[in-house]
Structure 1
Amino acid sequence: MTHPPDAPRMAVLISGRGSNMVSLLRAAAQPGFPGRFVLALSNRPEAAGLAHAQEAGLAAEAVDHRVYADRAAFDAALDARLRAHAIDLVVLAGFMRVLTPGFVEAWSGRMLNIHPSLLPLFRGTHTHAQALAAGVRLHGCTVHFVVPELDAGPIVAQAAVPVRPDDDAETLAARVLAEEHRLYPAALALVASGRARLEDGRVVFAPEAGCAAGALHSLPV
């Protein structure tokens, strides 16, 4: 595969099977993608996604949060592994740990997450059940820069799906996940190329990123 010579070195953080990681690795393997994944880290040594990352040619490592006395100690170990691999950009893909403010600030503007709702709606967990309970007609996913406040970072891109009358949390989740797999690689490409960046707490897009960058893309019912 070929990447730009100055392509940032990227790490993906997972806790489980890493379905979003798979879509990210597939996209990043395409010639010309503006970033290069070199490392997969998990807080769970048994995470199924580590084997897939290794098969894709990444260094695959575990930093088991259960052996550390507190969150700060775990985050320090995580930070050490990222720096050992000279990582430029951190991508969270189903990483089920709340990171300390110190860690987040150290990687400010260089760490992305995807959340299964149209933020600022439905932060936290069980977002699909929250959406159904609220009676919204559109639901979706959001790629955002990570900040110390949970699910509150500046938004890079969003994608929406219709909420159908016969939906339950499982069917709605499946439709949103398909959009996550499309949206996350596209948003990552914007950030890795420098066409989207965090500046004074806001996402700034380069003119060549186009007016659709960061826009809401909704699907037909």
Structure 2
Amino acid sequence: MLSLVVLISGGGSNLRALLEASEDAEFPARVVAVGADRDADGFGHAEAFGIPTFAAALSSYPDRESWGDAILEQIRQWQPDLVILSGFMKLLPPRVIAALSPNLINTHPAYLPEFPGAHGVRDALAAGVDQTGASIIIVDNGVDAGPIIAQRRVPILPGDTESTLHERIKPVERELLVQTVLDIANGTIDLEELAHP
């Protein structure tokens, strides 16, 4: 059974999908804790499923490194097999990434390497392209630059706004994330191999 710590910053819709998937006794992964860089709305999902939560606000620490150390300390208490950044909007310091890699993955609302960064949906619309997508990657020290684990295209429709496009990407992201966790648990995806080909 794969144990997961999920880090969020907002509503936690991907987290909800994982929690619902893990209700199936056959699903080979369980969320053991949910963390955030603020008091996130998504904590409500964790509480509904009886999952412990923790928060560490960057503003509460003298610098990014000590904040990262605090997050890492919280994560390590749960000894997870996999840490998932799911809408987590802060960049983790390099030593946190080094400590968790390659068992540290991230969801992103674009077809990487297209449109990395915090505004992937907005950037895709601004570029005038007719399709974008969703990706799951191994986190490295770049911005959405790590090895790609899984991705799928999502068409951009005439009249799409940032909001309507993002709402169509989210279910694809959720499906990809649940399938990726399943594939890692079953050994179909080898993160070590992907990180060091």
* Bigger mean CA deviation after superposition, 9-18 or 110-119: 9-18
Counterpart for residue 54 of structure 1: 47
Task: Name whichever structure is richer in helix by fraction.
Answer: 2
Q: Which residue of 1 aligns with 2:22?
A: 28
Tell me the secondary structure at the aligned position of residue 160 of structure 2.
coil
CA RMSD of aligned residues (A): 1.6
Q: Which has the larger radius of gyration?
A: 1
Query: What is the one-letter code of the residue matched to 2:19?
Result: L
Looking at structure 2, the residues matched to 203 and 27 of structure 1 have their Cα atoms a distance apart, in angstroms, of 29
The answer for unaligned runs of 5 or more in structure 2 is none
User: SS in structure 2 opposite 1:33?
Assistant: coil
Consecutive unaligned residues of structure 1, counting only runs of 5 or more, are: 1-6, 205-221
Would you say the 8 A contact 1:141–1:179 is kept in 2? yes
Tell me the TM-score normalised to structure 2 length. Answer: 0.93
Contact 2:89-2:118 within 8 A present in 1 as well = no
Corresponding residue of 1:84: 77
Q: CA deviation at 1:64?
A: 2.3
Task: Deviation per CA, 1:173-198: give whole Å up to 9, x if none.
Answer: 11111211221111121123322122
Q: Count how many residue pairs are aligned between Structure 1 and Structure 2.
A: 197
The structural deviation recorded for 1:201 is 5.0
1:141-180 pair list within 5 angstroms: 141-180=134-173
Query: Could you say what secondary structure the match of 1:61 adopts?
Result: strand
Are the equivalent residues in 1 in contact too, given 2:138–2:195 (CA < 8 A)? no
Query: 1:202: Cα distance to partner?
Result: 4.1
Q: Deviations over 1:38-63 (max 9, x none)?
A: 1011111x211113202202111212
Normalising by structure 1, what TM-score? 0.83
